[in-house]
Amino acid sequence: MENFGETALRKTIVKYKKNEGGCRTGRHWSSRVLRLLLLLAALLLIAIAGTNMVVYHTASTHIYTSDFPEPPVDCILVLGAGVTDSKEPSPMLKERLDEAVNLYDKQIAQKIIVSGDHHRTEYDEVNVMKAYLKNAGIPDDAIFMDHAGLSTYDSVYRAKEIFQVKSAAMVTQQYHLYRAVYLARALGIDAYGVPCDRQQFAGSFMRQCREVLARTKDSIIAVYQPEASIMGDAIPVSGSGSQTNDKD
């Protein structure tokens, strides 16, 4: 007959073995979940890297860092990049506008579209851009303002559908140019890119990182080609840019 001490010891051993089995099962499931998460992370990284390679290689053959070898295009498309509190183009935007003037003077196109954010009355990129170009000698009727260029995709989509652009020289910094040209060509615009880089700006690394994710996002959007956030009546770029004026 077992005494009390032996009975208690036996129960403790049985309880320990049960707990050990439960811990092993828990560790097994934790290991499976971890492996699944690692697999999903690897697949995500492969997808991001793959889409970036497609965007880069598709657009790179249509980007020119020296003389623009193509025949004249419908327009020069300048993508917005912010304005200062004093209603002046940001340094990055000024680079884009200066390159647009350079291309216009070389007769690459007779029309310029400035596309940026003006969906709020207190913030207006496009009138600042147009004023800068006019001060540089570009005629008023040669400058079209896209007041609803809220994103790169919206700017490209509206260039095609609202301004009826069939060919364009796109102007922005080179890191951004691959995505812009890729989107334009995916939407059916015969687009060429002209980088405007003249200096290195602070925050370049973070912009590059964001651009990697943006290329992935926009490469997916380019497959479905939804309408831009804001649409409107057609304003053919073959007409007068004064049609887009909203101020005297």
Pure H helices in 107-235: 125-135, 152-161, 174-186, 204-224
Tens-place pLDDT, residues 10-47: 555 445 455 555 555 556 667 777 777 777 877 878 87
CB 200 within 8 A of CB 167: no
Please return the burial class of 71, using the count of CB atoms within 10 Å of its CB with bins 0-12, 13-18 and 19+.
exposed
Distances from the Cα of 139 to the Cα of 101, 114, 167, 230, angstroms:
11, 14, 21, 27
What is the average pLDDT across 138-164?
Answer: 96
| Identity of residue 174 | Q
Q: Write down the pTM of the prediction.
A: 0.83
Residue entry with tokens 């990182």? 209
